[in-house]
Amino acid sequence: MTSKTALRAEMRALRRQLALDCPDAAERCAAHLPELPGVAVYGLYHPVGSELDPTPIRVPGAQRALPVVIARQGALVFRLHEPGAPLVPDALGIPSPRPNAAEALPDVVFAPVLAFDRTGARLGQGGGHYDRTIASLRAQKRMVVIGVAYAGQEVAEIPTEAHDQMLDGILTETGYIAVR
């Protein structure tokens, strides 16, 4: 099994190439969104670097929220955000809803992925923000986490640790993979 550090380096290079090879991946990904009944709020993310852009994803009848980094070692906070509303840099400089935007607990979180496997294991950037956030949200309510990735980001096995949070599904430009 490859270490997470080595796998991250390999997958960052691969993801950059996949982004170049599949410029319409975001729209194709959104076209494979499964039905998500009973969702009042869904959480997206602002793509950084070559992360697959989730912006085309829309959950009919639900409000959209975006994550905000308040503290480097803390969980993310989700704030409601209407498409086109202004964004401001959060603690990591990522465009996020303004501080006066209402906070929300999403029913579904679409999470960025560096690599994934068919068990629902997810490799992120290494900061632990999504693992802390998902653990916190799951402690507060029943919710679903869907990884958003290029199909080529799938690997045979992600090395996992006790704190790693599993995905319930993965949405790619080629389809939806139900995991749990």
Going residue by residue through the chain (180 aa), what tens digit of pLDDT does each one get? Answer: 468 989 999 999 999 999 999 999 999 999 999 999 999 999 999 999 999 999 999 999 999 999 999 988 889 999 999 999 999 999 999 999 999 999 999 999 999 999 999 999 999 988 889 999 999 999 999 999 999 999 999 999 998 999 999 999 999 999 999 997
- With a pLDDT cut of 90, the percent of the chain lying above it is 89
| Euclidean distance between CA atoms 60 and 84, whole angstroms | 17
Range of the domain at 105: 4-178
The confidence score (pLDDT) of residue 2 equals: 61
* Distance between CA atoms of residues 87 and 93, nearest Å: 11
pTM: 0.95
Distance CA 137, CA 77 (A): 10
Q: Coil, strand or helix: which one is 5? A: helix
Q: What is the pLDDT of residue 167?
A: 98
Q: How many domains does the chain have?
A: 1
Q: What is the DSSP string of 18-73?
A: HHHH-TTHHHHHHHTPPP-TT-SEEE-----TTPPP-TT---TT-EEEEEE-SSTT
pLDDT of residue 120: 97
Look at strands 169-172 and 122-123 and give their pairing: unpaired
What is the C-alpha to C-alpha distance for residues 81 and 98, in angstroms, rounded to an integer? 9
Backbone angles phi, psi at 103, to 5 degrees: -80, 150
**pLDDT value of position 74:** 87
pLDDT at position 73, please? Answer: 86
What percent of the chain shows pLDDT beyond 70?
A: 99
Query: For the domain that residue 146 is a member of, what is the CATH number?
Result: 3.40.50.10420
Find the distance separating the first CA and the last CA of the chain, reported in whole Å.
23
pLDDT at 72: 83
Q: Which pLDDT value is given to residue 1?
A: 47
